Structure formats: C-alpha cells, structure tokens
Chains A and B, each alone.
Chain A
Amino acid sequence: MSANTLANTLAAPAAAADALRPLRILLKETQYELAGRMRTRAYSLSVIGLPVMFYLLFGVANRGKPGALYLVAGYACWGVVSACLFGIGLTLALERAQGWLDLKRASPMPRLAYLGAKVASCAAFGLIITVVLVLLGSSLGGVAITARQAAELAGIAIAGSIPFAAMGFFVAYLVPPSSGPGIINLIYLPLSFASGFWMPVSMLPHWLQMVAPALPTYHLAQIALAAFGMAPAAGMALHWAVLAGFTVLMLAAAWITFLRSEANS
C-alpha cells in the first residue's frame, strides 16, 4: 500500500500537468473523425449532396415563394438527421464489428473523447449542410434570410444533432452492420417524410398528421421552421422538451444494448 502511495505521489505532478489532455484528445479525435468522413465520399456526398440536389430541384422551382424558404429549414433538418444516423449509426456499427473499436478501447483513449468526436462531427456536418442551404436559398432560392435567422438555424442544427446522435448510438448497437444502410434508410426516410422535412405536414394524409407529433423529427422541424416564422413560436418549450426527453431515452436504450453486447462479447 505504502508503495502504491509512493507511486501515486510520484505520478501526481504529471497528472496535474496533463489535466487538459482529455480535451486535446477530443479535439484531435474530432479533427480526424471529420477528415475521415469528408474523405469517405459515400458519406459526404450523400449526406451533403442529397439535400443540396433536392434543393436545386424543388427549392429553386419555388423560387421567391414561401416553399423555397420552407425547404431551407426542412432540408437542414433532413441533413442533420441523416448525418447523425449514417455518421454514427453506421460507422460505429462497422467499427464495432470489425474490431477497430476494441483496439481503441484497449488504448487509454477516453471513451468520452471517442463518443464526443462522433457527436461533434455530426454537428459539424449539420452546420455545413445548413450553411450551404442558407446560401442556396438566399441566392438561387430567391428568399430573404436575415443573418439572425441564419445564425438561429445554424444553432438549431448543432443542438438538433445531439438527440439524433444519441439515436445513432442506439441504432449502432441495434442493427447488424451488414444490413445497416438498408435499415437506417427504412428508419429515417419515413421519419423525414412524416415530419415535414420535405413538405408541410398539413399537406400529408390526415392519419400521418395525427402521427407526426409523436415523432422527434417533427419537433426538430417545428423548431427550425419557427426560426423562419413558419411555425408557431408558442410551442417551442414543448418541442425542446420532447427532444431532450428523446435524447435521454435513446442514450438509455443505447446504454442497455451496449451492456448486453458487452455481456456477450
């Protein structure tokens, strides 16, 4: 015991000097996670490219009309959700199945740095998509977006990536990696459609309009649309509360599936 105390005493100055190390690791991890995703064309082209392409088709077709503004907010939400579900749900599932995660876990890498880097990268992609859409909207879309509205939407994209990153963690431990893309499409395409990412919920079939408020994606869309004055500003607290609750639920579900997979590994 006394020997251990001696070891601790000797190690103490080094520990104090390295108090910032976890933060440095998080930054480095995020830097390379982002670089890796950018270079993975299947990811970056689809996650950024799809909303951009759709905006060029449907946003520009509604040039100068409310629809062009609506789709900036709607497609930004779509981008955030797909960046999270593919960026975490798929990559984490693969890294886990292929043994890469084990190698990282065997190193002294702080787990929170690994998870934090994944969330931060999703937020960064959400931000990029939002900025591109705002630029497209105010140029080719012919709609006026104030700097304040743009900043607000960017903030929503960043904050909104947290609940869906949490969902990504759950999905990563739920889906078999080989069928990952298919299952994730099955989850997020209906969610996007039913939540008003692509068209106002009021244009959807009546039964879907009833279902929509039960979806977390609907609440994200309402918050984003409210930034452009296209949704009632009154219910914001409820929308945020639903997203917060959804985050907790997803993290808990991810934690339970994680523990279950640990027990079998």
Chain B
Amino acid sequence: MSMTLPTALAAPAGVLSQGPAAPGTVEASCVATLESAVKRYGKTEALRGLDLTLRRGEVVALLGSNGAGKTTTVRLLLGLISPDSGRVRVLGRDPRAAAARTSIGAMLQVARVPETLLVREHIALFRSYYPHPLAAAEVVARAGLEGLESRRFGELSGGQRQRVLFGLALCGDPDLVFLDEPTVGLDLQSRRRLWEEVRALAARGKSVLLTTHYLEEADALANRVVVIDKGRLLREGTPAEIRHGVSARRIRCVTRLDPHYLSALPSVTSLQRDREAVIIYAERPEEVVRRLLLEDDSLHGLEVSAAPLEDAFLALTGGGAHQTPTGVIP
C-alpha cells in the first residue's frame, strides 16, 4: 500500500505523543479509554462509572444485553455525546474534537441512508471528509462492493447495505474502527467475509471495537471480550477466559430417564429440553454421564462440551442462564 508523505509523518507522531511519556508500558499502546464514565438520560443511568481500554491492534468485543450501555459506550467514544462525569480519550484526544475523528471509522446502526445516491457517490463523499483517504477501489474491494458501485443505495439488499456502511467506515483508512452490530442482516458468506476484513484490519495494526449480539462472532474475532451490564463492567478477558467463568459443562443426549430424576443428580445445575434430547448442565459431567450410561441402556446421541460463550454471557449478566433455547451457537 502506498503511503503519502503526510501519512508517513503523522503515523509516528501519533505514537510519539504517548511514547516518550511511558515507553513500553501498557499506556503507550492505548488507543481509546473510558475512565469512570458516567452517562445519564434523565433519571436513567446508562453508564455508571465504566472503565474501558482499547489497545493498538486489538479486536475487542463489547457484549451486553439490550440497555447494558453498549451503544452509549460507542457514542461516547465517537464524541457524539459527552459524559456526565469521567474521561473519554481517543487516540490521545477528546473525541469531540474534529481532529480526533480523522483517524476513526464508524459503522453505526443506520435505519436509512439517502437512497437516491449511488454507492460510488456515497464512497466519494465520505472519502472527501478525510485528509488521507483509502483509494475508492480499495474501499470497494475490502467491503465486497464490486459491481455495486453504480447502484443506488435504495436498490440494495439489506446485506449489501451493511457492506456499504462497512465500506464507509474504512474510507478514511482509520487506525481505530467502531463497528456497532456489523453483521446484522448479513448472510453467512458475507459475514465470514466481513470477519476476514476485521482480522485483516487487526493484522495491519488497526484497532477494532465491535458490539455484537452474535456471541459466535465475538468468539471468532475478539482478542478480548468486555461484558457490561447495567452500565458497569462485569468481566473482561479472552473469549476462553470468559467461557471458563462458567464452570458447568454441557451434556446433550437422548434418554428416557425422567427429567426430575436427572435434575436431582449430583452437581447438575440446570436442565432443558432440546427437541427429542435433553441438555444437562453439570459441574462434574463425568459423574453424571456415568450414571446416565448405567441407568439407561437406550441412551444415545451423547455429547459433552464446554458451555458455549453464550451461556457464560447469560450467567454473567444474570439473563437466566441455560433458560434460552439452544441452537443459536452450533
């Protein structure tokens, strides 16, 4: 990729502005931070003192149920709103300053985009906002918009629209990208392709903060998962660390044993039906499986697995762990 001279100069300058103060420390690689951020809407506290750090080259997934404060967090980091107290810094600056936005890209949940403009025109307009934009052809390639350039936005399918919005987030060749529910409405193929692009961003040293409802997505993409609930940080760690937060293992099998009997077995935490099978969550799955095999010789379809990230998430947020239907995560 060719770099113009000003980009080449600006990039190390950004590093230097934090580098000499604390060389080699964690601080040096911070690209975005929230410090005890509080945001109220009337009497509702959307954020109650949230701390969040995003480091260079990192993909962070922000998880939380509806109303947990995900969107408020993203809006604060984008400088669209101001915190009632606390501090927000993005690339060493207050995000409300226009200068901070030249190195940021955002994909927000937009219900409608001016529909009569062509895809090519939308890209040209967004590129014009940035001092060192990505080449239009590069935006088209990365967002998978080949062949759609001369289509009106209004003529695109839902998935194609999402891809245009992703492309607009890349127009400024940003160092930091915010993706709010980026793959909603995408088919499987488009989703995988967008994942590849997110990984490619991280590989180039860019940082990505994404919010998602698909825990599979957080699992596949994120170096770090941040779980928030009711405006507070609940847990953060790698997807594996978060998953380990839930000690129960998941046992799925088809059995004729009585559910009441099953739920009374030692270490069983919960139980649910999944079509013809039952799913048993147990702290010590070996004991449970031994009893199952011993007492039901017709038992079949046995699977034992770690609880998926979704269960860990639900357990953390108190959203009724193990109560939701399975099948969301294969």
Contacts and interface: CB of A to CB of B under 8 A. Distances in A.
B124 interface: yes
B41 A7 contact: no
A109 to B, nearest CB: 4
Nearest to B168: A103
Interface stretch (A78-86, A93-101, A198-206): A93-101
Interface stretch (A11-19, A69-77, A225-233): A11-19
Nearest to A9: B13
B6 A24 contact: no
A3 B18 contact: yes
A132 to B, nearest CB: 21
Contacts of A94: 112
Interface string A1-41: 01110110011011001100100110011001001100110
Given A3-B18, A28-B128, A36 B117 contact: yes
B10 A11 contact: yes
A110 B98 contact: yes
Given A10-B10, A14-B6, A99-B112, 5 more contacts: A7-B13, A11-B13, A98-B112, A107-B106, A265-B75
A103 B110 contact: yes
Contacts of A106: 78-80, 101, 104, 106, 108, 178
Nearest to A18: B131
A102 B98 contact: no
A102 B168 CA distance: 13
B219 interface: no
Q: Which of B19, B131, B168 is packed against the most chain A CB atoms within 10 Å?
A: B131
A32 B128 CA distance: 12
A14 B131 contact: yes
Interface of B: 6, 9-10, 13-14, 16-21, 41-42, 75, 78-81, 92, 98-99, 101-102, 104, 106, 108-114, 116-117, 121, 124-126, 128-131, 152, 165, 168, 172, 178
Interface string A226-265: 0000000000000000000000000000000000001011
Given A3-B20, A106-B106, A107-B129, A262 B101 contact: no
B295 to A, nearest CB: 56
5 contacts: A14-B10, A102-B108, A103-B165, A108-B98, A108-B99
B110 to A, nearest CB: 4
Q: Categorize the interface residue count of chain A.
A: 35 or more
A99 B110 contact: yes
Contact of B112 (A7, A17, A100): A100
A100 B114 contact: yes
A32 B17 contact: no
Contacts of A28: 124-125, 128
Q: Which of B17, B117, B124 is packed against the most chain A CB atoms within 10 Å?
A: B17
Nearest to A94: B112
Please provide the 9 A-B residue pairs with the shortest distance between their CB atoms, ordered closest to farther. A39-B116, A14-B6, A7-B13, A98-B111, A99-B110, A106-B106, A108-B101, A98-B112, A106-B78
A4 B89 CA distance: 14
A25 B111 contact: no
A105 interface: yes
Contacts of A264: 41-42
Q: Which of A11, A13, A18 is packed against the most chain B CB atoms within 10 Å?
A: A11
Contact of A14 (B9, B16, B129): B9
B192 to A, nearest CB: 25
Nearest to B12: A10
Nearest to B4: A14
A265 B81 CA distance: 7
A174 B195 CA distance: 41
B80 A102 contact: yes
Contacts of A105: 80
B16 A3 contact: yes
Q: Which of A14, A17, A106 is packed against the most chain B CB atoms within 10 Å?
A: A106
B17 A109 contact: no
Contact of B102 (A7, A103, A108): A108
A6 B10 contact: no
A32 B20 contact: no
Contacts of B79: 106
Nearest to A110: B98
A40 B126 contact: no
Given A102-B80, A108-B98, A13 B114 contact: no
A98 B101 CA distance: 21
Contacts of B41: 264
Contacts of B124: 28, 32
Contact of A35 (B14, B101, B117): B117
B113 A100 contact: yes
Q: Which of B78, B109, B111, B114 is packed against the most chain A CB atoms within 10 Å?
A: B114
Nearest to A3: B17
